[in-house]
């Protein structure tokens, strides 16, 4: 089945965060927006058709997650990620960010330390502090664009009373897929000091070059017993607007605590269209579409990297996973505010400034390449307007 990933669809005037909030976000309503992590690629027709089919019934009342819903998730994870899930491990959450907040409240107390590993997704910061917990920083170690964990600092923080580690796997924004060996070493420290691991795996399907994503909870029974895994079909199939995710918790005691927190907040019922979308997405047809998407994203990466190769002061590394490129502008020696001004007002480009992901993102920009090829081509043309700063 052929899919057209280069079809251009205007998203303006649809209450679209990415396009309709450009003035509010960037101060320039005409930037080419390549920031927030959703795709300028249509949700596949077979998912839209499943939602339309449900709309043929005129009553949209209270709903629940049926056997088909759980079977779709267990099939997908066994088939794509080699993880044999049990249906009773799975629960709903409105999304990964809300799930993080629920997990923080369920498994820590006010004032507890929660470890994050910047540069990392901004809500990792805000969900911790917003819930009255204390951030403990274990920055990734960077060497010429390659990132690894800082195990020594992690052990030091864990030994000083931290209660939880939030893991980004695959990592947003640096694009790392953590290897089995890296995750086992990380997990050994967490097990030793009784840290709860909260793993954000929302990008786990978006893997390049035949590489392998490992869910940390799948690596051992011990790690499964201390891990809360959040995921969703929203990144893979461009369904963020349905606000539907799921959580995998093999430990029944932890699952009951999470479920109680979810119920107390009134956030556990879910979205009737989200359920139908997931059942249509996690299928062989969804896998076929995803294969085509990854080929398209790979072509966008090649376009972008070839276009940036002429600029000696900009470095990019192909991500292992995600559709997010972590671009290193540090060799320009531009202050971040000046780099942002040049990109937004002279080039007309709306990237995500690296400092949104912590101080370790200074000098970087995150670029979303989930778009038609022509968007990448246009971005490169606009970037040429500030070539004098980049060469």
Q: Residues 16-43: pLDDT tens digits?
A: 999 999 999 999 999 999 999 999 999 9
Percentage of residues in the chain having pLDDT higher than 90: 98
**Which whole-number Å values give the CA distances from 117 to 52, 120, 135, 189, 248, in the listed order?**
41, 6, 10, 15, 22
CA distance 58 to 55: 6
In the chain the beta strands, taken as DSSP E runs, fall at 32-33, 90-93, 113-116, 134-137, 141-143, 146-148, 164-168, 196-200, 227-231, 245-248, 324-328, 349-350, 352-353, 364-368
The arithmetic mean of pLDDT across residues 110-120, rounded, is: 98
Radius of gyration of the chain (CA): 21
H/E segment holding residue 325: strand 324-328
Give yes or no for residue 350 having a pLDDT over 70.
yes
Give yes or no for residue 1 having a pLDDT over 80.
no
Give yes or no for residue 205 having a pLDDT over 90.
yes
The arithmetic mean of pLDDT across residues 372-383, rounded, is: 98
Q: Given this model, what pLDDT does residue 161 score?
A: 94
- Cβ atoms of 330 and 368 within 8 Å: the answer is no
Q: Given this model, what pLDDT does residue 2 score?
A: 78
Give the pLDDT band of residue 133 (cuts 50, 70, 90). very high
Q: Residues 228-252: pLDDT tens digits?
A: 999 999 999 999 999 999 999 999 9
Q: Residues 174-202: pLDDT tens digits?
A: 999 999 999 999 999 999 999 999 999 99
CB burial of 210-228 (b: ≥16 within 10 Å; e: otherwise) equals eeebbbbbbbeeebbebbb
Query: How many of the other CB atoms lie within 10 Å of CB of 60?
Result: 10
Mean pLDDT taken over the chain: 97
Query: How big, in percent rounded to 5, are the helix, strand and coil portions of the chain?
Result: 45, 15, 40
Q: Residues 74-108: pLDDT tens digits?
A: 999 999 999 999 999 999 999 999 999 999 999 99
Q: Given this model, what pLDDT does residue 128 score?
A: 98
Which residues lie closer than 8 Å to 183 by C-beta, 6 or more apart?
Answer: 169, 214, 216, 219
- Cβ atoms of 225 and 196 within 8 Å: the answer is no
């Amino acid at each position: 089945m052929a899919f057209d990933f280069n079809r251009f669809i205007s998203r303006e005037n649809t209450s679209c965060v990415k396009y309709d909030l450009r003035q509010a976000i960037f101060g320039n309503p005409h930037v080419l927006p390549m920031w927030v992590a959703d795709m300028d690629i249509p949700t596949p027709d077979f998912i839209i058709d499943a939602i339309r089919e449900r709309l043929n019934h005129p009553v949209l009342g209270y709903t629940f997650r049926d056997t088909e819903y759980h079977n779709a998730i267990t099939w997908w994870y066994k088939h794509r990620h080699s993880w044999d899930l049990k249906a009773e491990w799975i629960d709903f959450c409105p999304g990964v960010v809300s799930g993080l907040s629920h997990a923080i409240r369920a498994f820590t107390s006010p004032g507890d330390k929660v470890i994050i590993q910047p540069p990392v997704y901004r809500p990792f910061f805000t969900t911790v502090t917003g819930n009255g917990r204390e951030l403990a920083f274990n920055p990734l170690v960077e060497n010429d664009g390659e990132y690894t964990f800082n195990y020594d600092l992690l052990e030091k923080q864990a030994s000083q009373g931290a209660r939880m580690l939030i893991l980004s796997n695959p990592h947003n924004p640096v694009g790392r897929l953590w290897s089995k060996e890296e995750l086992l070493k990380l997990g050994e420290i967490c097990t030793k000091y009784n840290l709860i691991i909260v793993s954000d795996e929302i990008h786990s399907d978006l893997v390049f070059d035949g590489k392998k994503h490992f869910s940390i909870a799948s690596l051992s029974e011990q790690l499964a017993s201390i891990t809360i895994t959040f995921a969703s079909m929203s990144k893979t199939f461009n369904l963020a607007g349905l606000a539907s995710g799921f959580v995998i918790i093999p430990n029944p005691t932890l699952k009951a605590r999470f479920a109680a927190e979810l119920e107390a907040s009134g956030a556990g019922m879910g979205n009737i269209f989200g359920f139908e979308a997931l059942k249509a997405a996690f299928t062989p047809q969804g896998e076929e579409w995803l294969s085509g998407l990854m080929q398209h994203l790979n072509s966008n990466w090649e376009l972008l990297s070839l276009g940036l190769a002429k600029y000696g002061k900009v470095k990019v590394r192909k991500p292992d996973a995600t559709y997010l490129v972590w671009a290193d502008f540090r060799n320009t020696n531009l202050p971040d505010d000046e780099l942002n001004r040049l990109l937004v007002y002279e080039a007309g480009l709306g990237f995500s400034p690296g400092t949104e992901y912590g101080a370790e993102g200074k000098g970087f920009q995150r670029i979303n390449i989930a778009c038609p090829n022509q968007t990448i081509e246009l971005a490169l043309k606009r970037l040429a307007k500030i070539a004098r700063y980049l060469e």
